[in-house]
Amino acid sequence: MVAILSITAALAAVVLPNIVSATGLDQAAVAKGLLYFGTATDNPELTDIPYLTQLNNTADFGQITPGNSQKWDTTEPSQGTFSFTKGDVIADLAEQNGQYLRCHTLVWYNQLPSWVTSGTWTNATLIAALQNHITNVVKHYKGRCLHWDVVNEALNDDGTYRTNIFYTTIGEAYIPIAFAAAAAADPDAKLFYNDYNLEYGGNKAASARAIVQLVQKAGVKIDGVGLQAHFSVGTVPSKSSLVSVLQGFTALGVEVAYTEADVRIQLPTTATTLAQQAKDFQALVQSCVETTGCVGFTIWDWTDKYSWVPSTFSGYGAALPWDENLVKKPAYDGLLAGMGVTVTATATATATATSTATTGAATSTGTGATAAHYGQCGGGSWTGPTVCASPWTCTYVNDWYSQCL
């Protein structure tokens, strides 16, 4: 309780924005020339009526991404047997609201059913299964998807190809094969390659550009690159650096979008980390606004209540613009500022400060904690854990970020 009160008092001493604006996030994005500002969602949380009410708020969200319900293990759990019930719920919701639908994802090394990962495949039989899966899923949603994330996370952080069933059996050709199948099934949907840590540039971004060129040289349609934008607070590159990375992709004749953005905080939160999170979100969205060919910005769900972060990054949370009580945080203000909206800071955000502080105090791991798999373990002015939980190793990614891999 002492920790909660001290954090709340510290926050109360700082004037935080009580979000006062007649403009929502999507309205601001469209006014700046983007197609949308959107959010991911997932089927279980749609029973939460207050949550659903805000999800339906088209002033803030002009686009929805199904977080899990279009992935392979859900859509084709056994070979040749397809299920679209969960994905249809979210597609129908977006359609009813007049929101764009970003469809996600056709080919990923994760969330594959065992018949794929444990199958006995030849090059020819796996290509046939891959094409059949993509054809059936994309045809089912034909005309409904603004974008498809066709291939997801094909690269390691050093820029080499990730070892997965598709790469080891087919080779890099699985990527243009996947894009060709998607293009044939729905010629009007825009087709994206999607990955994380591209925002730092370097080898991984270079390899993602090479993937674009691989698909193009095969004579196959590829329309965009999705940068997931999963960050730890204070590790977001400068706006100018982000713009440079985005322009490296648009120079190849493709669009870009931030597709899964969140900025996690080592708990408990403080006034300082909440303010830095707002600056990080501002830099991200502003880099999109300032890049011709950046078409949209999606957060990976909109409230901390349903964030994937705490279950994946031990000791971290508070990664989204709304807290667990569905109250806007300073990050919301940062996003609006990044899209040129002036927000009036009139009072302290006591409710936000209190609820965030409480959440943080309840889940903090304290000093001396080890970083979890995929967690940050170094870089820049990093002050968190530098030792990874076994068997992971703290691996240098760039000057701003090292990660447990």
| Number of Cβ atoms within 10 Å of the Cβ of 232 | 26
* CA 359 to centroid of chain Cα atoms: 22
Candidates 172, 199, 260, 324; catalytic one: 260
Identified catalytic residue from 76, 153, 199, 255: 153
The interaxial angle of helices 271-289 and 330-338, nearest 10 deg, is 20
> Does 153 qualify as catalytic in the annotation?
yes
CA separation for the pair 175, 166 (Å, rounded): 9
Separation of alpha carbons 40 and 230, rounded Å: 13
Measured in whole angstroms, how far is the alpha carbon of residue 118 from the centre of its chain? 28
Active-site residue, 260 included: yes
Length of the chain, in residues = 405
Instruction: For residue 280, give the amino acid letter.
Output: D
Classify residue 217 as exposed, middle or buried by CB count within 10 Å of its CB (0-12, 13-18, 19+): exposed
Active site positions, annotated: 153, 260
